[in-house]
Structure 1
Amino acid sequence: MTNIIFAGILSGLFSYILNKIMLKGLGERALIALIPFIEEMSKTTFAVMFKSSIIGVHFIFGIIEGVYDLIFSSKKIGKWAALASLISHSFFGGVTYVVFERTNTLILSLLVAWIFHSAWNWFIMEKL
């Protein structure tokens, strides 16, 4: 359990730093493709490095992003953004895990999760 929490926290910190750099350089365009790639790569890589649960690390990451959303989003959407973060990152972890279990290919697992994550971010930004 400690490995899951530690890997999730490291993934959150790593992604936060890279996401800030990408947002500063590319603006909101980075939210559709680049940031989802960074986050999926980070969560899964740290899970594998620490020999911990892929789904668990994605879940911890979702909690971290959810807390960030609660603190830095408006009161009107903060709690819903936090809930969406927890659910979506847990889902992406489930996707990564299922693809990895069926194919034993980490790269394919990351790519599939990245596609789902990018589609989710596109939907949120363009349709809501």
Structure 2
Amino acid sequence: MEVLTLVDTLAMPNLTLVLLATLLAGGTSWLLNGKIRTASGNQGKGLVFLTPLVEEAAKSLWAVTLGASLVWTHLGFGLLEGVLEIKRRGSRGIAAGWVALAAHSLFGIITYSVTRSWGLFPALAVAYLSHAAWNMVVVYYSGRKGTA
């Protein structure tokens, strides 16, 4: 697998592949996270620890499988999640939407950077741990117990 530089991957995305990878990652995450939410009663460690695993794997594996940009697929996923936050919460979801876009973009840069140095599976591990840590921070500061 040839990995482009960060500048190259940001400057030359194949938008069709990115859109397809983003939508497939979003659909995969929506289906699997729904099962996790049902099994956990929409709370608990499943949401904090399992949903990041599902999302990071879905974004990265669909991007790599389709040959789409890792960074742009993660950014697209963040945009999708951000739009859903606004749809669910109305104007109260705007801040959460921007944070989702920023966080998933950062996870994409992390995944891309680690992939270049150590490969995809170490990158998935680092992105997952970053995402799970982020979820723990969100849960702690939001005052919710075990939901993210």
Deviation at 1:32, TM superposition (A): 1.1
Per-residue CA shift, 1:16-73, capped at 9, x if unaligned?
Answer: 1111110110132222110000000000000001001000100110111011000002
Query: Is 1:79 aligned with 2:107?
Result: no
**Aligned ranges 1:45-124 → 2 under 5 Å:** 45-73=61-89, 75-76=91-92, 78-103=93-118, 105-124=119-138
User: Cα offset for 1:74?
Assistant: 5.0
Following TM superposition, by how much is the alpha carbon of 1:127 offset from its aligned partner in structure 2, in angstroms?
A: 1.9
Question: 1:13 aligns to what?
Answer: 27
> AA paired with 2:57?
M
Q: Separation in 1 of the partners of 2:27 and 2:138?
A: 23
Structure 2 stretches lacking a partner, 5+ long:
1-14, 143-148
- Give runs of ≥4 in structure 1 deviating > 6 Å: none
| Letter matched to residue 70 of structure 2 | I
How far apart are the structure 2 equivalents of 1:39 and 1:74?
Answer: 24
- Cα deviation digits, residues 76-124 of structure 1 (max 9, x gap): 2x00010011000000000000000011x21100000000000001100
Q: Which has the larger radius of gyration?
A: 2
Q: What is the aligned partner in structure 2 of residue 2 from structure 1?
A: 16
Provide the aligned C-alpha RMSD in A: 0.9
Residue 36 of structure 1 corresponds to: 52
How far apart are residue 75 of structure 1 and its match?
A: 2.9
Percent identity of the aligned residues? 32
2: distance between equivalents of 1:52 and 1:75?
Answer: 32
The letter of the residue matching 2:32 is: L
Aligned length: 126
Structure with greater helix percent: 1
